[in-house]
A and B are shown apart, each in its own frame.
Chain A
Amino acid sequence: MSMNEEKKEYRPLIVAFCCNWCSYAGADLAGSSRLSYPADVKIIRVPCSGRVNPMFILRAFERGADGVIICGCHPGDCHYSTGNYYARRRMALLFSMLEYIGVENGRTRVEWCSAAEGAKFSKTMNEFCEKIQSLGENVRLGDLRCKN
């Protein structure tokens, strides 16, 4: 790393998994309402928050993501009736295990965001980015082979 690069402001890399029916639409609404959030957030569309396999999250951390957020429909609103409940339980378990191996709890998050909550989506992303910014680079799970 050259001296020049080191001075550059640290920008985190955040992966957001958004369910197609609520949160992805919420993100679209945030966009059409021009409610900005940092460009560090990259959204991956999944059919349902219950589709998010814990492997995806581990993979993201392995590949150098600094934070992962999963957004789904509000409890009771899941398009597939129960997917978000499974996601919530699965993630609660995964996050506690991640914390055990040193990935701070703040790096992971599950958030409910409906298709009408553009403002909430943008606010959540801003908060999450700030949090990750304060936590700094994720060094715990990074696959050394992936580093340049």
Chain B
Amino acid sequence: MQKIGVFVCHCGTNIAATVDVKKVVELVRYEPGVVFADDYMYMCSEAGQEKIIEAIKEYGLTGLVICSCSPRMHEKTFRACAEKAGLNPYMVEVANIREQCSWIHKDREEATKKAVILARAAIAKVNLNTPLKEGESPVTKRALVIGGGIAGIQTALDIADAGYQVDIVEKEPSIGGRMSQFDKTFPTLDCASCILTPKMVEVNQHPNITLYTYSEVEKVSGYVGNFDVDIRKKARSVDFDKCTGCGECSTKCPLGKIGKIPSEFDRGLKNRPAIYMPFAQAVPAVPVIDRENCTYFKTGKCGVCAKICPSKAVDYEQKDEIVTVKYGAIVVATGFDIINLDKFGEYAYNESPDVITSIELERLMNAAGPTGGHLERMSDHKQPKDIVFIQCVGSRCDSEEKGKPYCSKVCCMYTAKHAMLIKDHWPDTNITVFYIDVRTPGKNFDEFYRRAVEQYHVNYIKGQVGKVKPQPDGSLMVQAADLLDGKQINMKADMVVLAAAVEPNPGVRKIATMLTASIDNNNFLTEAHAKLRPVESPTAGIFLSGMAQGPKDIPETVSQAGAAAVKVIGLLAKDKLKTNPCTAQCDTLLCNGCSTCANVCPYGAITYDDVQVMDHGLRETRRVAQVNLALCQGCGACTSACPSGAMDLQGFSNRQITTEVDAICR
């Protein structure tokens, strides 16, 4: 039996004016478990708290009920006060007789009656309270960043600069991501590699950063502060320590000239050898052998690269290696790609080499690209005179199998950028942009777009293009309608550029499943709270950075990367994690292992274990739910979903709430 002390606060006249405080004290005194009841002018004041502490000591109280203002206001105060007197802070309940009683009711009798009922409910609850202890779990002071694009690079640099160890896992042979493929960046038109490559080098040289390129995350277990991650380091077939990055092997690889291996980095606009670095400034500057295409791996003959290598770094015998590392926090920065355009037959992307995507245009305009920065048609290598840009290809599309329902956010700006860059280099090019809406919110963004129209005379036409038809003479016929002028347009073009919708990197689904991080219908990672926790996943210890979370441009990605880094640093800075003691608990004797709770848990805190139980003298093995206390946030979703009543929430247990209901309905 508890020994409960009830303290009723006057709150000056805030409560006492409408609630007969003395009467409340009198009426609750004889409630079960109550051994002491008193009132005071200001319970939260120093003197009021002294009174509570004295009473706890004098009467040996095991539970407290404070009838005062909202628990959202002073629950913390009273819990701390109880703790000072040696009482478990979770043995305190607050009956809200100010906000929910005295302030809203005028009738004194009515308000007093309600105050008594609220106090009774709280007393009934405290009778069932159990001392709860905040759990503790250690924190591994090392972070993992999945993805080595600008988002991952920035996150890693920020964490590393704060003095923590960071590992980057990148599945491509080099870090750099999409941004390394770009030519210039909006709205300042500074060259992408000029601002990115220094960061890539910094990552490589940072004492706190370890790079795992050409590697993939294989398995994740554990929880916030204590993740165990298996990383598969795919065989490069080149010895990392011996290779000097001279590039001799790539130039001599016979497949470089005769092979038809499309370069992933150049989006298939150029071929690459079987032993290659994706691009000249690759970090690390160590080539890989593409085993699927390499003649040596296919037939056992060739071996030119091994013979030619001055430092004998080529190693055909290398094997995949799996390393297991412990991490405290994981950042997902897996980035994006553009959608497959096979479903958009009307735009003839697969029919004509002169219909290209914007990212291919980036490569074509890049000085380090397949054409050395000279804009030319892929069919006849002539410079295009009339270029048509088509916006929203696959974005804002209702049909799921064709496109994406969201706006890709970056296309309006990069199209304006492309138009301006082309006009800058070749002023007599005619550029037409077909748009649905031009969306340019952002600092200096609309000015940028207007500059394309006003200064560069780019022709913007409202109306989605209906069809692109390759003509026998090699040109392209673009069929569209100018909605504002009410005219149908048939326009000849030399080149058509499609602003294809962005989509999260296809690999993110697998990674999210491993991390139990939730993703939305479009495979974007979901944030813990859309407004207030935008860089955290609902799963504790998992953070989001860059396009993996939603469409965004480079400045936004960098700021989100910084934000994610700060959250990681905040986590790693702690030696121990305090866990919320109001967590779910599973009664193994009742649980039937049905998985309902695991399905509703938003945090992936529930796992299943086979345990030995004694049931009516019989020993048997059962599959039962286990709650990971470090992950559980105490929402109680599992408790109301559990069909067998095995799940219960500490601090808000089924019995506690039922008894409150009973007390109110008495």
Contacts and interface: CB of A to CB of B under 8 A. Distances in A.
A touching B, CB within 8 angstroms: yes
Interface of A: 13, 15, 20, 24-25, 27-28, 30-32, 34-37, 39, 42-48, 50-56, 59-60, 63-65, 76, 79-83, 86, 90, 122
Contacts of B103: 31-32, 34
Contacts of A37: 104
B582 A47 contact: yes
A48 B635 contact: yes
A29 B113 CA distance: 22
B663 to A, nearest CB: 9
Interface residues of B, number: 49
8 contacts: A30-B99, A31-B100, A46-B636, A46-B657, A55-B654, A63-B662, A79-B529, A83-B636
A53 B652 CA distance: 11
Contacts of A51: 635-637, 639-640, 649, 652, 657
B103 to A, nearest CB: 4
Interface string B589-618: 000000000001010000000000000000
A125 to B, nearest CB: 9
B529 A81 contact: yes
Contacts of A48: 635-637
Contacts of B600: 50, 82, 86
B408 to A, nearest CB: 22
Contact of B666 (A39, A50, A63): A63
Contacts of B98: 31
A44 B665 contact: no
Contacts of B73: 28
A80 B641 CA distance: 15
Contact of A83 (B106, B107, B637, B662): B637
Contact of B654 (A15, A31, A34, A53): A53
B174 interface: no
Q: Which 4 A-B pairs have the closest CB atoms?
A: A31-B99, A51-B636, A63-B665, A80-B635
B70 A35 contact: no
Give the most central of B98, B99, B103, B113: most A CB within 10 Å.
B99
A50 B598 CA distance: 14
Interface string B403-446: 00000000000000000000000000000000000000000000
Contact of B664 (A36, A44, A76, A82): A44
Contacts of A54: 640
A86 to B, nearest CB: 6
Contacts of B508: none
B149 interface: no
Contacts of A79: 529, 635
A60 B664 CA distance: 9
Give the most central of A34, A43, A51, A59: most B CB within 10 Å.
A51
Given A56-B661, A80-B602, 18 more contacts: A35-B104, A39-B111, A42-B114, A43-B96, A44-B121, A47-B649, A48-B636, A48-B637, A51-B639, A53-B657, A55-B654, A65-B665, A79-B529, A80-B633, A82-B600, A83-B636, A86-B637, A122-B104
Interface of B: 70-73, 96, 98-101, 103-107, 110-111, 113-114, 117-118, 121, 518, 526, 528-530, 538, 582, 600, 602, 633-637, 639-641, 649, 652, 654, 657-658, 660-662, 664-666
A128 to B, nearest CB: 15
B585 to A, nearest CB: 14
A54 B600 CA distance: 16
A46 B71 CA distance: 12
Contacts of A80: 538, 602, 633, 635, 637
A29 B575 CA distance: 38
A81 B528 contact: yes
Contacts of B114: 39, 42
A122 B652 CA distance: 25
Nearest to A60: B661
A40 to B, nearest CB: 9
A36 B72 CA distance: 20
B636 A50 contact: yes
A28 B74 CA distance: 13
Contact of B72 (A28, A46, A50): A28
A46 to B, nearest CB: 6
A122 B103 CA distance: 12
Contacts of B635: 47-48, 50-51, 79-80, 83
B66 to A, nearest CB: 14
